[in-house]
């Protein structure tokens, strides 16, 4: 995955040095409008963690000393990825964070990858803007199901993207979402659905991307 092309580089970010006080950090946060920013070392190359606006205000509300160093309330020190991390590591590391910090090949702070950037990438891979219909197909999840479904659909049109859901759920039913190429008609979709149904695959939802 080309993380470098998706993340916001350091030069375009608001950050705070580890020597800053909590008061200086909250001033930077208020001025920037962000709820969280990275903490870097004095050289601006080493990622120390994140500082959140809510944690500083909670500290202040409890009569905490605002002259303490920003690292007093440092969070997410181990939450980062490298520019060559796999998609799965990126996806599960960023899960509960507003963004994930990115380190370069020499473990220097490179930038951040935001939720919106990741979602935009998923949208592009899903071909929402260039597809025609998305079919949500229910199957038993047996070996060969995916190959059989794609074989049926490819008789009528090309598949732009494929996403399988419910992989870890205990239910027997597996859902697979297939985006069909642009230009496919509703009549063709009906033929595909009928063919899938004859082979034991149930189309539980049809989304018309042109009308959405």
- The total of structural domains in the chain comes to 2
Same domain, 176 and 114: no
**46, 116: one domain:** yes
Res 164 pLDDT > 70: yes
Are 104 and 27 in a shared domain? yes
pLDDT bucket at 167, cuts 50 / 70 / 90: low
Q: Note whether 76 and 179 are same-domain residues.
A: no
Tell me, yes or no, whether 140 and 97 share the same domain: no
What is the pLDDT averaged over residues 25-52?
97
Q: Is pLDDT above 90 for 168?
A: no
Note the pLDDT tens digit of each residue in 102-147: 999 999 999 999 988 887 777 766 666 678 999 999 998 789 999 9
Nearest-angstrom CA–CA distance, 119 and 149: 26
Question: What are the residues whose beta carbons fall under 8 Å from the beta carbon of 77, sequence distance 6 or more?
Answer: 48, 49
CATH at 45: 3.10.580.10
Nearest to 87 by CA among 190, 6, 203: 6
Q: Is residue 125 part of a domain?
A: no
Supply the pLDDT for residue 209.
Answer: 86
Query: What string of DSSP letters covers 170-201?
Result: SSS-EEEEEEEPTT--HHHHHHHHHHHHHTT-
> Domain residues for 179?
130-211
Is residue 98 located within the same domain as residue 143? no
Is 158 within the bounds of a domain? yes
Structural domain includes residue 69: yes
- 107 and 137 belong to one structural domain: no
| Domain finish residue from 66, 99, 120 | 120
**Residues 24, 94: one domain?**
yes
Whether pTM > 0.75 for this model: the answer is no
């Amino acid at each position: 995955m080309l993380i470098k092309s998706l993340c916001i580089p350091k030069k375009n970010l608001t950050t705070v040095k580890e020597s800053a006080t909590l008061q200086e950090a909250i001033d930077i946060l208020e001025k920037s409008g962000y709820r969280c920013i990275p903490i870097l070392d004095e050289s601006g190359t080493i990622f120390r963690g994140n500082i959140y606006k809510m944690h500083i205000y909670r500290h202040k509300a409890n009569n905490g000393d605002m002259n303490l160093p920003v690292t007093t309330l440092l969070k997410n020190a181990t939450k980062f990825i490298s520019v060559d991390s796999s998609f799965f590591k990126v996806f599960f590391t960023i899960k509960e964070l507003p963004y994930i910090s990115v380190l370069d090949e020499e473990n220097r702070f490179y930038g951040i990858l935001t939720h919106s950037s990741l979602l935009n990438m998923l949208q592009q891979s899903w071909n929402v803007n260039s597809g025609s219909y998305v079919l949500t197909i229910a199957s038993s999840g047996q070996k060969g199901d995916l190959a059989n479904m794609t074989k049926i659909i490819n008789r009528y049109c090309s598949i732009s993207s494929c996403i399988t859901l419910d992989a870890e759920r205990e239910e027997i039913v597996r859902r697979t979402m297939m985006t069909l190429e642009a230009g496919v008609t509703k009549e063709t979709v009906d033929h595909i659905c009928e063919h899938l149904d004859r082979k034991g695959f149930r189309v539980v939802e049809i989304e018309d991307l042109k009308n959405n």
